[in-house]
Each structure stands twice: as C-alpha cells, then as structure tokens.
Structure 1
Amino acid sequence: MLKLFRMLKPYRVGVVLVLLMVFVQALAELFLPTLMADIVDKGIVNSDIPYIWQIGGIMLGVAMIGMLCSIAASYLSAKVSLGFGRDLRSRVFSHAQRFTLKEFDKFGTASLITRTTNDITQVQQVLTMMLRMMAMAPMMMIGGIIMAVSKDAKLSLVLVVVIPVLALLILLIGRSALPLFKAMQKKIDRLNLVLRENLTGIRVIRAFGREDSERDRFDHASSDLKDTAIRVNKLMALMMPAMMLILNFSTIAIIWFGSIRIDAGEMEIGNLMAFVQYAMQILFSLIMVSIIFVMVPRASVSASRINEVLDALPDIEDPTQPSRPSQRGRLEFRDVSFTYEGAEAPAIEHVSFEAGPGEVTALIGGTGSGKSTLVSLIPRFYDVSSGSVLVDGVDIRELQQEELRLKIGYVPQKALLFTGSVTENIRYGKQSASDEEVREAARIAQAAEFIDGLDEGYDAPVSQGGSNLSGGQKQRLSIARALVRRPEVYIFDDSFSALDFKTDARLRAALKQETQNATVLMVAQRVSTVMDADRIVVLDQGRVAGIGSHDELLRTSDVYREIVSSQLSEEEMGKRAEEGMS
C-alpha cells in the first residue's frame, strides 16, 4: 500500500495541512480536561465564580478551535483521498490499455473491473481514515499518557496493564481477518464474472431456458461471498464489545484507586476527573487504531491486487530505435509459429505467404484451423512464438505499435460498436474524418441504405454493443469504420458472415474499387466470398494446406476441395472449372 501512496506527491500540501489541523485539534482536546480540573479544584472548591467564568470561556474558545480544525481536516482529507482515487483509477486504466491480449487473458475482464473500481475504493477509504484517525490516534495516545502521568504518575500504572492487553487484542483479530479479506476480494471477482456473463449472454440463456440454472449460479456466488463476509463481520464484532469491556473495567480501576489516593490526600478531585478523561482519550485512540485495523487488512489486499496490475509489464513493448518502412502495404508471413500460453500444441505452425498492394488474399479453413489467430498477429495483439511478420518490408516488432496500427484497418470477427451515434462509430476509425468521408465509407460498406432509413439518419443512437441493430448492420458499420481510415492493409476477419449473398457480392465489388492500392487480407467461411480472391491460403490445423487461386486449389488441394464440395454443388464446381479452362 505504501507503494501506491507515492502517488500522493501532488497532494503533499493538502496532506501537510490535514496533519497540521489534526495536530491542533489533538492539542485542543488534550487541553480541555486540564481546564476542567482547574475549574473544579480552584473555582468550585474556592467558590470563585469569576474564575469559573474565565476558565469556562477559555474552554469554549479551545473547543471552537478544535471543532474548526476538525471540519477543515475532514474537508481536506476527503479532497486529497478523492483526488488520489481519481489519479489511481486513471493510472490503472491507462496501464491496462497497454496490455496485450495475453495480459487480459491472465487477469480476466471481471477481475480488472473489480480492481479498477472496488479495490481502489477500498484504498481510497483507508487513506481518508489514515489521514484523520491514524494521525489523530498516536497524537492523542502519546499526549494523553504525558498528561495523565503529569496528573498522577502512580495511578498511570493502571494504563501500563491495560494498553498492552488492548494492543494484543487488536493484533490477534487483525491477523485472523487478513486471509478472509483476501478471500472476499476473490469472491467479488467471481460474482462480477457470473453477473457479467449473465448480462452479456441473456439472449442465449433465454433461448435455452437456462434462467433457473443461471439464477442458481449467481445465488451460489452471492451466498459464497455472504458467508465469508459474515465470518469477517463476526470476527470484527468481537472487537468492539471486548474493547468496551476492557475500557469500562479500566474506568472502574482508575476511580477505585483514585478514590484511595484522594482519601489519603495525595490527589485532588479535579485531577482525578481529568485523569479519567485522559485515560478515555488514550483508550479511545486505541479503539480508533482498531477501526483502522479492520480496514487496513482489506485495503492492503486491494492494494496488492492493484499493484499486480501496475507491475505487470506488457508482453509487447515498442522498440527503442524503430525502423522506417521502405515499402507501402506489403505483408509477409515468414515461417510463423504461435502457441497460446498454457496450450499443449501450437495454434499456428510454420506459416509463410506474401500479400501485396492491390491484391486480395483470402484465408479459409475449418473451425479451429487458426485463421483468426493468424490475423491477430498482424496488429500485434499477440507476438509470434517464432518466425516473423513483416509489414512494408519491416518486422512488426521493429515498428512502434501506434505506427503499425495506423497502417491497418481491422474488422473483427464479432462486430463491436460503442454507445453514441452512427457517425461517432464510423468516425472511431479516424477522428478527423469529415461528414463526407463518413458517408462515403458507409456507402462503400453498403450501410448507407439502412442508415438513411433510420429516423435520425447518421445521428441515430447506437446502444451498448449495438444491441439496437441487426448482426448484418453491425458488421457493415464495422467495415465502414475501417474504410474511413483508408489504411495500407485491410483485415477482414470473417466480417461478411452475417450478410446475405446479394449484399456480400455488392460489398466485395465496392471494396475491390476502394482497395486497389491497399493489401486486403480476408478471413472467410464461405467459398463464394473467397473464390474471386487473387490468392487463397488454405489452413488445416494451424498449417498451410495450399496456396493459390480457386481453380489451382481445386486441382492441387484435397482440403480445399473438401471445403468447396461441402458448400457448392457439383454443377457449380464444374461451371467454375470450365470458366477457369477458358
């Protein structure tokens, strides 16, 4: 947690002012019992009314100073802790933005959300308490001990017995609570994961009638968290009654032994009253420490989880001396292999091919053949295990990630849209795009017709995830988002699967004109989508099973013929073969 508190440097003035206000408040509260003792021993005993009014006025002034300092300290500590929480959230978010998919797979989306929200809130709350209570408690305890000893040193021996007992109780409970707090944070992760899956997969859940089982799964995760929270709270519930019991017995002991000393003429009544108040201040300062001990273990767990994110170095880093490309738009895979972390077998093995500007290169293969994995290596979502991927004649590991991705227009397999308008989603590919560029990209992507049909046209709202649009509409907007960028390399990762054959054909014809000077890499499941490509790369279990045109592969690749025969009739295959012969 101390590592995170280094981020308090911009707020050091506020921290110093809080500590100063707390110090003045502590002095004021420590001074009040002495003034009260003077009123009793000098004013009341001697029936000196003017003296009582005089000291009473001073007490009122001291109490007002303490109150104002308390208000100022509360305001400043809240301001410092909230600013710290905001900065820490921004830092965690910015750092996570640099993660590769490998780090996202490691932490998990639900856990990263918990760490950015719940965990940071825990640390923020403890910081507020530390600035107030943790600063106040030692001041009150040390000051109280000094003032109590000054009133009666022998009576202070009661505190010598009580304070270690309280400290030991706090330590034992704190040590017992720490493992439970760790378990709680993990169970919050689990609850978030179940909730997120339930909300995002609600259509599938309802389609298969699995509402009851999902409700049971959520209840199990929620009950698991509840049980652990109850165990923690039972443990914490023991602390306050035990401390109050010790506190009350301490008060009885002080009054008992104090009355003996008063009877012997060794102590005055006012000093005994002041001593009781100082003893209460000392013991309450320990109670404040116990409250912090309730919060600190959980916050320390949260802090370690936040530090795990901040200490995680992205698997992919920019080179210190990036290379400068000498070509434009040429893509090459050179003996590329890739294995997912923890996987037993490579997803891609010894893949080599080239794709140049003005060419359409298609990737086709069965489910799990490695098509999407292959294209995810180009923007460096993952780094190759061996071999190299070259863009513009340069190994992508020698390029700045931002520079590399500016060259690429990527359309993912699952169309993902953001909340906002249609225009904002298309302009996501190029922030500076004009309205005319946005409309042109939509026209090429065959999206203009359905956009014009919306009530608000290009200003029509897009709900979260594009849930108010059909699958085909979302895919066309994703394609328009890539087109507006006018990149050197287009990657279409099975981006036409939700389109009907007529729209698919119109879109490919429009793309052919638009991408004449760019390299196009197209992943597809349908043979009709790839059969006109300049080059088709057939993948089978992560390996290249053939490269060539449609007609060449029909003659040379068994895997490709099997794919074609499963989708096209013999008549269509024969017709295509005759066209190729002529």
Structure 2
Amino acid sequence: MAGRSPDAPARPIGVRRGAAMLRAHLAGAGPALAAVLALSAVDAAAGLAQPLLVHRLIDAVGAGAAIRGIVALLAGTIVLAAIAGAGQQYLLGRTAETMVRSLRHTLIGHLLTLPMAAYRRHRVGDLVSRVGADTAAVRAALTGGVVDAVGGALVILGAGIAMFLLDRLLLAVAVGVLALAVAVVLAAGARIRELARRVQESTGEMAAGVTRALGGMPLIRAAGAADAEIAAVRGAADRAWAASLRSVRLQALLWPASGIAVQLAFLSVLGLGGARVAAGALTVADLVAFLMFLFMLMMPVGAVFGAISTIAAALGALTRIGEVLDAPAEDAADRPRPGAAPDFSGAAPAVSFEEVTFTHDGAAAPALDRVSFTAEAGAVTAIVGPSGAGKSTLLELIERFAEPDSGVIRVGGADLRDLDRARLRAAIGYVDQAATAVSGTVAGNLTLGLDGVDEGRQRAALAEVNLLGRVEAHPDGLAAEIGEGGVALSGGERQRLALARCLLADRPLLLLDEPTAALDSRNERALREAIAASARRRSVLIVAHRLATVADADRIIVLDQGRVAGVGDHAGLLAGNALYRELARDQLLG
C-alpha cells in the first residue's frame, strides 16, 4: 500500500476531500443531521416571516385594522426562532463531539501502528498535537462553521426569494454590491487555510519542544541548558503567535466586509427605492419590508463569511491529520502465509540470518552487510562487537521493527515474511537497550500485554531478578507509580523490571539488548542466574559488552562494521579471533 510518512509534505485538503474524510466518522449521525437541517429551516423561516409580518402590521395600522393577532404571530416567530436555534446548536454540538471522538479513535489507532522509523523521524509532541489541537479545529468547523453556513445560506435564499417577489430591480442592485464582498472572501479562503495549517504546525512544534524539554529535564539541568530550552520553546510559541496573528488580521479585515457590503447595498436600495416610491412603482410597505430583508442579510452573510474562515482553518488541520492517516501502517505490505508459525521444539534453529543486509534511512553505508548466522533452539547465543557494529539492529530486525534490504530471516524455521507480526511478537520476549518503561505502576509495566497474572506470579518474577525487596519496601508495593518513562526507577531497576516482564510472559524466544549494562556486580550476577535458568526452557539471544555476561554462552557471534567477524564459544574465540581477544583485553566486554 502506497503512502507517505507523517512528516512528509501533503497536498492541501479541499472541501470535497475533507468532507469525504469525515463522512466515515459521521456514521449513524444521519437522523441528528437531518434534525439540524430541519431546525435550521424552521429558524430561517421564523426569521424570514418577521419582515412579512411587519409589512402586514404597517398595512394594518394604516388601514386602522386590528393588530393584536399580527403582534402575537410576530412574538411567536421570535420565540420559535430561539427554540429552533438552541435545538440545532445542541444536536450539532453532540454530533460534533461524537465525530471528533471517532476521528481521534481512528487517528490514535493508526498512530500506534506506524513503522518504528516514523517515530524516530517525527517529534512526539507534534503527533500528539494532531490528536488534540487539530481535531479540536475540525470540531469547531462543524459546530460553528457548518451550522452558520447552512443556516446563513437558508436565510439568504429565503430573503432573496422574498426580495425577488417584492422588487427585482432593487434585488439586482443589492446582489451586485454583495457579490463583490463574496468574491473577496472566497479569494481569501485559500490564504486562510494555508495560514491555519501554519498555525497548527507551529502549535505542534511548540508541543514537541515542551515534550522534548520535559523528557530530558535531568540532562538539561545538568548541562545548564534550561535557559536555551526555554528560549527554544518560547521561539516556537512566538512562531505560533505570529502565524495566528496573520490569520486573525486577515479574518479581521474580512469580517467588516459583510457589514460594509450590506450597508452599501442598503444605501443603494434606499436611494433607488425612494425614487421608485416617489414614482409610484413601489409602496412604502414594500420598501420597508425589502429593507428589513436586506438588514436580515447582515447577520447570515457575516456568519457565512466567518464560516468560510472556520472551515478553511479546519481544512488546514485536516491536512495535517491526513498526513498521518495516509502514512502506511507497518504491516500494510505484509502477506502472511495462513498457518505459518515458528517452531521452537528444536527441529529448526531458533533464529537464522541468511545473507541479510540492512541500511538505516539516510545512512550511506549498511548497518548489516550480508550477515549470516544461526542461533540454536534451547541455547544462549551472545552477540558482541564494538559500538556501532549492528548488534541492536539484529534484534530489531527479528522483532520486525524494520525490514531488511535483502536476505532472509527465520525464526523457529519460519520466514519472518510469512508470519503474522502479532503472532511473531507473541513468541518473543524483548528487552531493548534503554529498558523502556511506560508511565504507570510497577504492576502495570510488569503485566503489559498480559492478562490474568496474579500478584503471586508477579512477585515471583520480581524475585528472580532481585527486585522484589525494592518494590515491597515502597508503601504502595506493586501499585507504586514509576513516573513518565520510569523516571522513579534507576537504570538498573528498569532493566530488571523489563527482564522480569519477559520472564513473566514466558515466551519461547528472549531477545536481550545489554540487559546488565546498568547493574552492579551483585545484581548482574542475579540477572545472569535468571537468564541461565530461563535458557533451560527457552532460546536466548543476548547483546552484551560485559565478558561475564557472554562467557558462558553456548555460541558467540562477533560483529564488526555490520559483518560477522567470528563465531564460536568463549575459549575458541579467545584463542582464534583477534577482535574478540582485543575486546576481552580492553574490557569492552567487561
């Protein structure tokens, strides 16, 4: 499936495509929208009836007839218009909120299925802004722009018909003046949409700056960079302000256009109409009614002009939302083979690479270059090498966080391309290099993706990695909050929590990326024992720098500059592999 990354430029979305995007999110809203249209028609009809009733009132006063009934009808139309207006605002507001909820559900669901590379290329705060601020702009267009445009159009249509019946010549003069204002507003619509898109982008940039600063606060303060970060975020806020000010300035110039146009039309009609009354071609009552209809146009014409601005802003927001929704999901091109599943019984290697090459986006040289090796089932396979050799990339390819340029990767004898991603990942326990944790509790992180895990099993997993004492020392125990990204934990505690989660999941293949890097010797020993015990029941691939972590591995793969530089056990590589000997001697392994 073709698509673009969410940070790639997208063509602006017009009214037709914008309506098509929202149609799916308005499913089931037909009756409510029909009621809104009906109430808009009632509101418009009640308003249009008022000049006609005034016309009759003037005639009745002139003829000395009773006016009580006419006054009662006039009051009734005013009340009816108010009730209809309130009803349509409520129904449209409820429909808009439901539509935005559906749009956010879709947007969030798609955001969380993008390829991993998309998250690395794009700023998190900007993506969050699209879910929040951009969808709010769409809601404003539906609750304000659409109802104003529809209601205003109905009033304009009705008033136009009534004015046509009263005097065609005066109508032609009024339309000629108003048409100039409409042309100006329509011409400005594209500019407003572009400015609105810039406002949303600047808002997203500001949100990204705040997210970046809050996420790196310890580093920022330690580096004495707080003032620079504040200036950077304020700069983004200033750009959002400047873009908003340009939009406000343009809209401020357009808003009086409706009033000026109606007033010019009024003066033209008054002059010509007075002459026609003097000539006997028009009655005073007809002229008064015509002028009332003309004044009635001031509000709806202004509303339509305002609606054009609001809708243009929403189209700018929809363009940014569309950039995300048009980006392909990570499994968009997958064609899993029905029934394909990895076999970890030992009949096939747990993992095998066959001439695998992979290049990161924008990189000049491949991170992995024709890599081939096997990791046997039920064994511990260690991957070592200098920094930048491609060790972590190997694990990411096994998890299908990225796709190789060429070659074949097999897990449990099955080609990764034949496997459903969810089924593949359900067979793998993965601890990344950062030992990532999510905001929430210890228990929430420990059981992430797992159902029905009782506290006894959770405590047993924590005990295996020597973390139970630390958790039980906290007053809230398993319910203790660990903060955004696990900031309440040390690096070593995050690593142990991540490994405990893998052990609790009890999956047949473990991928561990430097799981002991932040541990002291006592906790490292406990973790090595947990890994060794785990290896009796499952296959383990472990990336490590410490000699103690890899010395007992069944097989060691040595990587250098993206290529396999040696394969063997610890003793054999010490004796026969110069790079491994150098790594061991320089303690890059330990």
Please classify the TM superposition score into its range, dividing by the shorter chain length.
Answer: over 0.9
- Matched to 2:173, the amino acid is V
Aligned counterpart for 1:115 among listed residues 108, 124, 130: 130
- Identity value in percent: 30
SS of match in other structure, 2:586: helix
Partner of 1:239: 254
Deviates most, 189-198 or 105-114: 105-114
The answer as to 2:534 corresponding to 1:518 is no
Question: 1:10 aligns to what?
Answer: 28
What CA deviation, in whole Å up to 9, does each residue of 1:368-388 have, x standing for no partner?
A: 111111101111111111111
Residue aligned with 1:375, SS = helix
Alignment of 1:96-115 (within 5 A): 96-115=111-130
Contact in 2 for aligned 1:357/1:517 (Cα 8 Å): no
1:53 matched residue in structure 2: 68
1:125 is matched with: 140
In 1: Cα distance, 2:476 partner to 2:508 partner? 33
Aligned to 2:170, the other structure's residue is in SS state coil
- Most deviating of 352-361 and 199-208: 352-361
Of 424, 436, 439, the residue aligned with 1:416 is 436
Once residues 491 and 474 of structure 2 are traced to their aligned partners in structure 1, the CA distance between those partners, rounded to angstroms, is 16
* Counterpart-to-counterpart distance in 1, 2:54 and 2:336: 70
Q: Which one of 158, 172, 178 corresponds to residue 143 of structure 1?
A: 158
The change in CA–CA distance for 1:108 and 1:397 in structure 2 (over 3 A counts) is farther
Task: State whether structure 2 residue 457 is matched by structure 1 residue 441.
Answer: no
Q: From 490, 505, 509, give the equivalent of 2:525.
A: 505
Q: Give the match for residue 83 of structure 1.
A: 98
Report the TM-score when normalising by structure 1: 0.93
Once the two structures are superposed, residues 540-571 of structure 1 have per-residue CA deviations (whole angstroms, 9 ceiling, x without a partner) of: 111111111111111222221221111189xx
1:321 maps to 2:341: no
Query: Per-residue deviation at 1:208?
Result: 0.8
Unaligned runs of 5+ in 2: 1-17
Between the two proteins, the alignment pairs up a number of residues equal to 567
Aligned residue for 1:286? 301
Task: Tell me the distance in 2 between the aligned counterparts of 1:326 and 1:306.
Answer: 38
CA distance in 2, matches of 1:106, 1:10: 37
Q: Which amino acid aligns with 2:340?
A: R
In structure 2, the residue matched to 1:228 is 243
Give the counterpart letter for 2:39 in structure 1. Answer: M
- In 2: Cα distance, 1:560 partner to 1:500 partner: 24
Query: What is the distance in 1 between the residues matched to 2:508 and 2:537?
Result: 8
Instruction: Tell me, yes or no, if the aligned pair for 1:554 and 1:561 is still in contact at 8 Å.
Output: yes
What's 2:321 paired with? 306
SS across alignment from 1:369: coil
For 2:250, what is the secondary structure of its paired residue? helix
- Per the TM alignment, residue 323 of structure 1 is displaced from its structure 2 partner at its CA by 4.1
Q: Distance in 2 between matches of 1:334 and 1:323?
A: 23
Counterpart mapping for 1:144-543 below 5 A: 144-317=159-332, 318-325=334-341, 327-328=343-344, 330-543=350-563
Alignment partner, residue 21 of structure 1 = 39
Shift of 1:47: 2.8
Q: 2:135, 2:288 → 1: CA distance?
A: 44
Using the TM superposition, give the Cα deviation of residue 110 of structure 1 relative to its aligned residue in structure 2, in angstroms. Answer: 2.9
Determine the C-alpha separation between the residues in 2 that align with 1:443 and 1:331: 29
1-side partners of 2:160 and 2:87: how far apart?
Answer: 26
In structure 2, distance between residues paired with 1:285 and 1:413: 61
Query: Structure 1 residues 3 and 201 mapped into 2: Cα distance closer, same or farther (>3 Å)?
Result: same
Note closer, same or farther for the CA distance 1:225–1:545 as it changes in structure 2 (3 Å cut). same
TM-score (normalised: structure 2): 0.92
Q: Give CA deviations for 1:123-178 in whole Å, capped at 9, x if unaligned.
A: 12112224411211221111111111222222222213212111111123223323
Q: Distance in 2 between matches of 1:375 and 1:322?
A: 25
Deviation, structure 1 residue 319: 2.4
- 8 Å Cα contact 1:331-1:519 kept in structure 2: no
Residue range with higher mean Cα deviation, 196-205 or 449-458: 449-458
User: Is the 8 Å Cα contact of residues 514 and 544 (structure 2) preserved in structure 1?
Assistant: yes
Aligned partners of 2:588 and 2:154: how far apart in 1?
84
Letter in 1 for 2:511: I
CA separation in 2, counterparts of 1:82 and 1:265? 55
Distance change >3 Å, CA 444–CA 10, structure 1 → 2: same
**8 A Cα contact 1:134 1:288, kept in partner:** yes
Task: Note the C-alpha offset of 1:449.
Answer: 1.6
Letter in 1 for 2:495: Q
Aligned letter for 2:467?
A
Residue matched to 1:577: none
- Give 3-state SS (helix, strand or coil) of 1:156's partner: helix
- What's 1:579 paired with? none
User: Displacement, 1:81?
Assistant: 0.7
| Equivalent residue, structure 1, for 2:3 | none
